[in-house]
Chains A and B, each alone.
Chain A
Amino acid sequence: MGVKQVKQKEQPKQKEWVRLDNASNIFLAAMSTTDTKVFRLSAEMQDKIDPISLQKALEQTYAQYKLYHSVLRRGIFWYYLQHTEIIPKVAPEVLAPCSQLYHFDQKELLFRVIYNEDRVHLEVFHVLSDGTGALWFFEDLIKEYILLRYPESLDEIKKEQIEAKVRHLEDSFVTYFRHNGQQSFTESAQSALRNFARTSKRAAFKYGKKFGRALLTDRTVPTKKRRVYRIKGEKTADNRTKVIELEMPVKKILHLAHQEEATLTIYLIALFFESIRKSKSDFQIRDTIAISVPVNLRQFYPSNSARNFFSTVKLEYTYTQERDPQLKEICASLAKQMSQQLSKESLERRLSRLISYEYNPINRLIPRPIKDGVLKIINYSNNRNLTVAMSNLGRVAFPQSIDGYVNRLYFHTSAVRPQFSVISHGDQLTISFTSPFIDTDIQQQFVRELTSAGVEVTLAANKTQADELRGDF
């Protein structure tokens, strides 16, 4: 296994557990050997990783994040997160990226910290946390590591503290805000939605009543019949995720996005759509390409919960027979859909629906295997209406004194369909494509679109086939 785990001698006096929220159940229903629902955050440091410092940093960070002291168990009605005394161990990278973290019959931590050469990876099971929540843990881990590995950075921090007190205060507020919700296991493992509903002015019972209404009103009614294009292909030999990782200067690509009058996210999605259209021979004119994009709800509703707190928007573009569209047109259409779906009313509706689902009393009495089955069907029908997916974690900055020790950040997730994940640090943007398939035609088209526009791209990929691993490639 990626993380060797040792058990402490003392057992906790009383077992603590928190029932898993409904929203996280979908990950368990959708989990498969191909799509493990694990995502990975990586940092490329300046030097080779020192496992001893990394282990110390991990233990210090782990002590602050009670949520990560969890194992997942199955009950008759519920899955529940149970507190554990397992101490995580950093391990060299011996498993394929985003390998399964949760096995139904084993008590394992729901995350692992691994290293290879100059990179540190944090892999997290999506049931535990979302990208933003995991990024908090990862940032703290990297900070601790740098302070241990490069003690001279401490002196610089002191200097910096004197120079910029205000900024530091802001930073401490963020740290306090994050850590405040991490005090006890039950508090930190509690669903973000329940925390939100409890602390917000609206009483929780209100949502229970709203459930029926939300179900009736919030269905998107398909306006016309359309065929959502779905990518098919040969899967990798042992179901591992195929990763193609791109590094590029952020300025150049931002410039390209602005030329198309789009944000970076919208521009990259439009480029991805075009890459699919141009590279797939079975793509037919009038086909629709649909993408699912997660939206961090914390940016609209303040929450210090590290649990899953996001919603997804679905953007689509239907190609017409008349002519090939301009990239700008696709960008405009996508941006319009995005702003519609992120309007105040639409977000309120989303949140209400999520909370009402969480508080729905009928859900409590349905045995877990039936709930799993229903969620599997829902997930299957959702997948049928999606072509691809993407996720953008945005720009990540560390405190100035330690920022220079980190070269680049990377982010990718296991995938049931081709998708890409974006993160940036300093002046470097990284885009990681993940796919269950061995074909790389879409990625090739995407890269060629970028390089022909003058972007300098460096590429890395993992090996997924027997011939590649033998060195025939």
Chain B
Amino acid sequence: MKRCTHCQVSVKGDWDRCPLCHQELEADSKVDSMSPYPDIPLRFDKKKVIQRLMLLSLLIILVVFTLGLFFPSPLGPLRISLFGIMSLWLVALIIIRKRRNIAKGIVYLIVSTSLLCVYLDYMAGWSAWSTTYAIPIICISAIIAMFIAVRIVHLKVGDYILYLLTATLLGFLPATFLFFNWTTWAFPAQLSLLMSMLMFAWIIWRHGKDILTELQKRAQI
């Protein structure tokens, strides 16, 4: 055991300096004592993470501005780089926060990426590419992705079924685009509708009871 002559304490473990006053410890060879707290490596170092992400964000700005010199865009490099950084952070945050629940993560990604596309379309003067292509395609691929993902990671039905249902219901959203005539080409939205209908029928047929059980449990007043 070592000793801090300033604090007058005996210190357990392999410290060279006092954990309290940070002054050098003196060897006290009477008893050798290990630290009861094993060295646990850092999961992350906040300072480093922030430094790297700041660097990455600066890099995005630099690249966008350089590209802007050669390929001028109606949005302007400032808006594009802001959008790029925003999307990067949003998607990274969702993936980190929802890493333990793939199904829920996918639902969050559908909503956030769709909103980002609408925002970008709006900023670029609204040519309806987001409602014609982006959102229907995101919905279709999300349903397929979730269908595959829950099988790969062997999720229990009760744990993902409500999210699969939510994703399927979100797939009906492009119907409103068709109704209000917000599309320039109807096919992607129609395909999304068809996929959602098939998936919905399959879920109700196979898992109707599970959905009821989950809803009863989760919505208990």
Residues of A near any B CB (own CB < 8 A): 15, 17, 19, 44, 73-78, 80, 93-97, 103-107, 116-117, 119, 235, 237-240, 243-246, 364-365, 440, 443-444, 447-448, 451-452, 456-463, 466, 469, 471, 473
- Cβ of B140 within 8 Å of any chain A Cβ, yes or no, is no
Proximity bits, B1-35, A CB within 8 Å = 1, else 0: 10010011111111111011110000000000011
Chain A residues whose C-beta falls within 8 Å of the C-beta of B37 in the assembled complex: 97, 116, 243, 460-463
CB–CB B7/A444 < 8 A = yes
CB–CB B12/A460 < 8 A = yes
CB–CB B217/A237 < 8 A = no
Q: Evaluate whether A458 and B9 lie within 8 angstroms (CB atoms) in the complex, with A237-B47, A243-B37 already known.
A: yes
CB–CB B217/A466 < 8 A = no
- Cβ of B101 within 8 Å of any chain A Cβ, yes or no, is yes
CB–CB A469/B11 < 8 A = no
Chain B residues whose C-beta falls within 8 Å of the C-beta of A245 in the assembled complex: 36
Cβ contacts A to B, 30 pairs, < 8 Å: A75-B219, A93-B40, A94-B38, A104-B101, A105-B101, A105-B104, A116-B36, A116-B37, A117-B34, A117-B36, A235-B46, A237-B45, A238-B42, A238-B43, A240-B42, A240-B43, A365-B221, A440-B21, A448-B7, A451-B9, A457-B10, A458-B12, A459-B12, A459-B19, A460-B13, A461-B15, A462-B35, A463-B39, A471-B14, A473-B15
- Cβ of B44 within 8 Å of any chain A Cβ, yes or no, is yes
- Cβ of B151 within 8 Å of any chain A Cβ, yes or no, is no
Give the size category of B's interface with A.
Answer: 35 or more
Output the nearest chain A residue to B47 by Cβ-Cβ distance. A237
CB–CB A77/B219 < 8 A = yes
Chain B residues whose C-beta falls within 8 Å of the C-beta of A77 in the assembled complex: 219-221
Please list the 6 inter-chain residue pairs (A to B) with the smallest Cβ-Cβ separation, ordered nearest first: A105-B101, A451-B8, A462-B37, A461-B19, A444-B20, A75-B218
**Min distance, Cβ A235 to any Cβ of chain B, angstroms:** 7
CB–CB B45/A466 < 8 A = yes
- Cβ of B41 within 8 Å of any chain A Cβ, yes or no, is yes
Q: Which of A107, A238, A444, A461 touches B21 (beta carbons < 8 Å)? A: A444
Output the nearest chain B residue to A457 by Cβ-Cβ distance. B9
Output the nearest chain A residue to B17 by Cβ-Cβ distance. A473
**Min distance, Cβ B2 to any Cβ of chain A, angstroms:** 10
Chain B residues whose C-beta falls within 8 Å of the C-beta of A107 in the assembled complex: 159
Chain B residues whose C-beta falls within 8 Å of the C-beta of A456 in the assembled complex: 10
Output the nearest chain B residue to A74 by Cβ-Cβ distance. B218
Chain B residues whose C-beta falls within 8 Å of the C-beta of A240 in the assembled complex: 40, 42-43
Q: Evaluate whether A459 and B9 lie within 8 angstroms (CB atoms) in the complex, with A103-B100, A243-B37, A244-B20 already known.
A: yes
Chain B residues whose C-beta falls within 8 Å of the C-beta of A364 in the assembled complex: 221
CA gap between A102 and B19 in the complex, in Å: 30
**Min distance, Cβ B157 to any Cβ of chain A, angstroms:** 12
Chain B residues whose C-beta falls within 8 Å of the C-beta of A457 in the assembled complex: 8-10
Q: Which of A78, A104, A119, A447 touches B220 (beta carbons < 8 Å)? A: A78
Output the nearest chain B residue to A446 by Cβ-Cβ distance. B20
Output the nearest chain B residue to A455 by Cβ-Cβ distance. B8
CB–CB A460/B11 < 8 A = yes
